[in-house]
């Protein structure tokens, strides 16, 4: 044991001015290192200091605390169409050029303050007379997302619930699973239940074609006059399994009927405002009124990257006009971001890829959006309705059995049922 005379004392240290000087320099260097991220941040080509209260500085403060949650990115289909799902052929840690379909990589994820992305699986609509490979192709894309998590464990974490979203490490990109079209189900509610167990958080009722469940907004033939009987059963089973009923891409009639049948929150994964730009993929005001008035809550995620739906040669200002209109009609607590990056060939000017999210938020801040409203737009509004969908599912599973209905197309099952 050391004697009292051997123990270091402040007096003894003070007798060595050289050592004290180095200790002080070391402490100052450490303090400077800690303060540097707060005092010197880059926003595009702009350098932001800690005391800066410019719109850019305010937006970065918001997005540090509430990073963007984008409910629609088409990375799985981009990997399929560009690389044949060969994971040896690309590296998402290497920055890529912006031209379609390379709107996303991990560097731009950080630059854009993207915290969570729903990687949507997409397959083309089945063609009459040809083999329907929708379920196979869907499973391959879901597998691709799980492979991304396996191959990039330091960058990606698949999330399955609102709780996991809120507990997600800021060092990782949270990834949700979703399906873009009812044809992904292969006319099977059983497929829906399997997808739900895999972690799928929303399914779009129809894409650019009618299916056995619902009619589409674009290229649809109004086969069902909205939602079919089996489509209503699908909505019920989506509710029971905690999968959001996505009415983007659907006809107006389908959307109204789906809202009537829906016990959970209203949800559009990637749409715009028809009053701002007249396109069938955008949402008319009568549906926005239903979003505003719904006792089930809801959110419309705005398709910020799809130039075709935003206007003629659109800019960031045009995209902000869509967001502002939806907020004015339905309320700022009912709007979010669902970009469609990697799924569109052209983007609005100034929104080239995911690194540009902050520029859109700056535009909205200049228009009077508060920090709390921007945080809701970025992620809070969606997390709120996801939590409500989970509660609906929990209640329904206590009260209801799985839906056993099958579409009229499933003669393989119906013929066997007729025996009894």
Q: How far is CA 212 from CA 168, 200, 315, 373, in A?
A: 37, 20, 37, 39
Pairing of β 173-179 and β 156-158: parallel
Q: Is 40 a catalytic residue?
A: no
Q: Is 180 a catalytic residue?
A: yes
Tokens of 97: 């050029």
- Burial environment of residue 305 by CB neighbours within 10 A (0 to 12, 13 to 18, 19 or more): buried
Q: Name the active-site residue from 56, 70, 74, 373.
A: 74
* Cβ neighbours of residue 129 closer than 8 Å, sequence gap 6 or more: none
* Cβ neighbours of residue 3 closer than 8 Å, sequence gap 6 or more: none
* Tokens 């005379």 sit on residue: 5
Nearest to 381 by CA among 75, 165, 236, 237: 165
Measure the CA–CA gap between 290 and 226, rounded to whole angstroms: 17
Q: Name the active-site residue from 113, 184, 207, 325.
A: 207
Q: Name the active-site residue from 103, 249, 322, 325.
A: 249
Q: Is 207 a catalytic residue?
A: yes
Nearest to 300 by CA among 279, 316, 323: 323
Residue 193, number of CB atoms within 10 A of its CB: 16
Asked if 183 contacts 134 with a C-beta cutoff of 8 angstroms, the reply is: yes
Asked if 231 contacts 220 with a C-beta cutoff of 8 angstroms, the reply is: no
Q: Is 74 a catalytic residue?
A: yes
First to last CA, the chain: 89
Q: Name the active-site residue from 340, 353, 363, 373.
A: 340
* Tokens 């050592």 sit on residue: 19
Q: Is 225 a catalytic residue?
A: no
Q: Name the active-site residue from 56, 70, 72, 318.
A: 72
φ/ψ of 278, rounded to 5, equals: -80, 100
Q: How far is CA 201 from CA 117, 198, 325, 382, 404, in A?
A: 12, 9, 27, 12, 21
Q: Name the active-site residue from 270, 322, 325, 334.
A: 270
Nearest to 71 by CA among 396, 386, 392, 412: 386
Q: Is 103 a catalytic residue?
A: no
Q: How far is CA 404 from CA 19, 188, 214, 289, 329, in A?
A: 79, 10, 18, 34, 39
Positions marked active-site: 72, 74, 180, 207, 249, 270, 340
């Amino acid at each position: 044991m050391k004697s009292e005379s051997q123990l270091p004392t402040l007096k003894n240290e003070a007798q060595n001015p050289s050592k004290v000087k180095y200790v002080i320099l070391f402490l100052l260097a450490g303090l400077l290192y800690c303060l540097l991220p707060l005092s010197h941040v880059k926003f595009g080509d702009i350098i932001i200091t800690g005391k800066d209260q410019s719109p850019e500085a305010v937006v970065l403060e918001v997005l540090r605390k509430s990073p963007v949650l984008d409910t629609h990115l088409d990375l799985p289909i981009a990997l399929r169409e560009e690389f044949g799902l060969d994971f040896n052929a690309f590296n998402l840690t290497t920055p890529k050029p912006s031209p379609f379909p390379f709107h996303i990589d991990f560097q731009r994820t950080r630059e854009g303050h993207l915290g969570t992305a729903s990687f949507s699986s997409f397959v083309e609509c089945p063609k009459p007379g040809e083999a329907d490979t929708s379920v196979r192709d869907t499973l391959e894309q879901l597998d691709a997302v799980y492979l991304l998590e396996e191959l990039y464990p330091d960058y990606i974490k698949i999330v399955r619930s609102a709780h996991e979203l809120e507990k997600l490490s800021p060092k990782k990109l949270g990834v949700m699973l979703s399906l873009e079209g009812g044809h992904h189900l292969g006319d099977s509610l059983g497929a829906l239940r399997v997808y739900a167990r895999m972690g799928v958080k929303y399914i779009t009722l129809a894409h650019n074609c009618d299916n056995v469940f619902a009619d589409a907004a674009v290229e649809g033939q109004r086969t069902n006059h909205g939602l079919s009987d089996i489509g209503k059963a699908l909505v019920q089973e989506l509710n029971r399994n905690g999968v959001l009923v996505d009415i983007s891409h659907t006809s107006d009639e389908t959307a109204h009927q789906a809202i009537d049948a829906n016990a959970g929150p209203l949800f559009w994964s990637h749409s715009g405002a028809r009053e701002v730009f007249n396109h069938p993929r955008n949402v008319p005001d009568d549906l926005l009124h239903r979003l505003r008035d719904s006792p089930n809550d809801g959110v419309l995620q705005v398709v910020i990257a799809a130039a075709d739906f935003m206007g003629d040669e659109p800019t960031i200002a045009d995209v902000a006009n869509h967001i502002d209109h939806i907020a004015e009609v339905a309320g700022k607590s009912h709007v979010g971001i669902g970009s469609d990056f990697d799924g569109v060939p052209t983007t609005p000017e100034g929104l080239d890829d995911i690194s540009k999210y902050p520029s859109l938020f700056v535009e909205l801040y200049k228009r009077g959006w508060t920090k709390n409203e921007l945080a809701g737009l970025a992620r809070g509004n969606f997390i709120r309705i996801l939590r409500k969908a989970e509660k609906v599912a929990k209640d329904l599973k206590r009260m209801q059995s799985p839906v056993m209905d099958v579409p009229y197309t499933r003669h393989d099952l119906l013929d066997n049922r007729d025996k009894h």
